[in-house]
Amino acid sequence: MSEHVQDIDVPATAQREMSFWDHLEELRKRLIWSLIGVAIATIICAVFADAIVNKFLLAPAIHSNPPLKIQNLKPYGQLMLYMEIVFIAGLILSMPNTLYQFWKFVQPALYPNERKYITSIVFFSTLFFFLGGAFGYFILIPRALGFFAAFGSPSIENIIDVQAYFSFVTGMVLACGVVFELPMLSFFLAKLGILSPQFLRKYRRHAVIVILLVAAAITPGPDIASQILVSIPLYLLYEVSIFVVQFARSNKRKKEEAAA
């Protein structure tokens, strides 16, 4: 019976200790598969490059009030820009595969009966990333561009460098996607025993202050409505992280007690 419990409840790393070179080999394999996914996604995005640029990335500038004018100052500027945008779009499109490879690399640290949840973990990691990207694109970017377009002297015409504009848009989308990964990062840290729900609850008030500071930093100007709009989902993510950490720690504790 004890052997059966050990096979079920002991992490994979306890059943077969991986050497340093084993970890490196596993990391190399996961990186290769991630890069293959990025390459395939980049090729797909290259086919739809015009639609990505004209209907997606330029839309916030066109619909801002007043509309922003975008200009290119280099002969090869648009060519290099398209290449950069296609690559970034490939990174975003291949994110499910990248997250899958990451969690497969982490898998040996999980209990055998927890590894069946890898698909669910990848799904929610991808969901949070795309929710964050959507939040940045549909909420933050329009408000930021509207503020920038209306701010300043009417005698100064706002003509934005195309490289700076696309860097701002893609950077905001990626940053929001990463920030929304907070619950999944909390899950990972909880599995490592670094983070606990008691710690998150204890410092909830401090987290609120940090959230307000972050919201003030990433929102344009003294717009209180925008800051509140950003603070609400960030705080909700913090509360979700507490629940996720509690679930991860309690599940881990049960497995350890069963194996004892």
Nearest CA-CA partner of 208 in 241, 236, 180, 182: 236
- Predicted local distance difference test score (pLDDT) of residue 127: 92
- Shared domain check, 195 and 257: yes
- Shared domain check, 210 and 147: no
Residue 1 lies in a domain: no
Residue 248 contacts residue 191 (beta carbons within 8 Å): yes
Please report, for residues 1, 60, 81, 217, the alpha-carbon distance to residue 54 in angstroms, rounded to integers and kept in the order given: 64, 10, 13, 29
- Shared domain check, 148 and 41: yes
Residue 160 contacts residue 68 (beta carbons within 8 Å): yes
- Shared domain check, 222 and 122: no
CB 33: neighbour CB atoms within 10 A? 15
Residue where a domain stops, chosen among 180, 207, 233: 180
- Predicted local distance difference test score (pLDDT) of residue 19: 74
- Predicted local distance difference test score (pLDDT) of residue 53: 95
- Shared domain check, 22 and 112: yes
- Shared domain check, 144 and 204: no
Residue 140 contacts residue 234 (beta carbons within 8 Å): no
C-alpha–C-alpha distance, residues 125 and 95, integer Å? 9
Please report, for residues 7, 66, 248, the alpha-carbon distance to residue 193 in angstroms, rounded to integers and kept in the order given: 22, 51, 10
- Predicted local distance difference test score (pLDDT) of residue 169: 92
- Shared domain check, 44 and 25: yes
Residue where a domain stops, chosen among 180, 199, 224: 180
Instruction: Tell me how many domains the chain contains.
Output: 2
- Shared domain check, 24 and 148: yes
- Shared domain check, 129 and 21: yes
Residue 142 contacts residue 60 (beta carbons within 8 Å): yes
- Predicted local distance difference test score (pLDDT) of residue 259: 63
C-alpha–C-alpha distance, residues 141 and 248, integer Å? 34
Which residues of the chain carry a pLDDT beneath 70?
A: 1-18, 110, 113-114, 220-223, 251-260
Residue 246 lies in a domain: yes
**pTM for the full model?**
0.78
C-alpha–C-alpha distance, residues 167 and 81, integer Å? 10
- Predicted local distance difference test score (pLDDT) of residue 223: 66
Copy the structure tokens of residue 26: 């596993």
CB 96: neighbour CB atoms within 10 A? 17
Q: Which residues contact 180 (CB under 8 A, 6 or more apart)?
A: 128, 129, 131, 132, 133, 135, 233, 237
Residue 176 lies in a domain: yes
Start-to-end C-alpha separation, the chain: 12
- Predicted local distance difference test score (pLDDT) of residue 258: 63
Query: Which range of residues forms the domain containing residue 74?
Result: 15-180
- Predicted local distance difference test score (pLDDT) of residue 260: 60
Residue where a domain stops, chosen among 165, 180, 195: 180
Residue 9 lies in a domain: no
Residue 154 lies in a domain: yes
- Shared domain check, 150 and 75: yes
Residue 235 lies in a domain: yes
Supply the Cα-derived Rg of the chain in whole angstroms: 22
Nearest CA-CA partner of 159 in 144, 149, 151: 149
- Shared domain check, 225 and 122: no
